[in-house]
Amino acid sequence: MILADGKPKKIGTGVSTWKGIFDQVATFPSRVNKVTFTTNVVTSEMQSVKLSGMLVWSIFRKDQGPFQAYKSFGEDLKKAVPNETNENLISQVSAIVRTVIASTSIS
């Protein structure tokens, strides 16, 4: 992805272009990341439930996907294990799962 003035100029897999003096180049790994998580939830009957799960994610490569990932997670995506990004996604998934389970009954 080529950025000019903070906006995407050219996005794609294997793109090539001329880079201006003020342009930035952002590269993204094509790997799939797998993260496990555990969260505790209380149901509507006030019963505690422990949930373990797995989150599999990668960057959406079409349209504005790479630019949105770069804006959200930045340079952490270049690391072999993007810990900050994984932690951010775990907290988002845990919040969603807790909300869904808290509003349902055990039965």
Q: Mean pLDDT for the chain?
A: 78
Task: Give the global pTM.
Answer: 0.66
The C-alpha atoms of residue 87 and residue 24 are separated, in whole angstroms, by 27
Per-residue pLDDT, 36: 92
Share of the chain above pLDDT 70, in %: 75
- How is the chain split into domains, by residue range? 28-102
CA separation (Å) from 17 to 1, 11, 12, 24? Answer: 10, 10, 11, 12
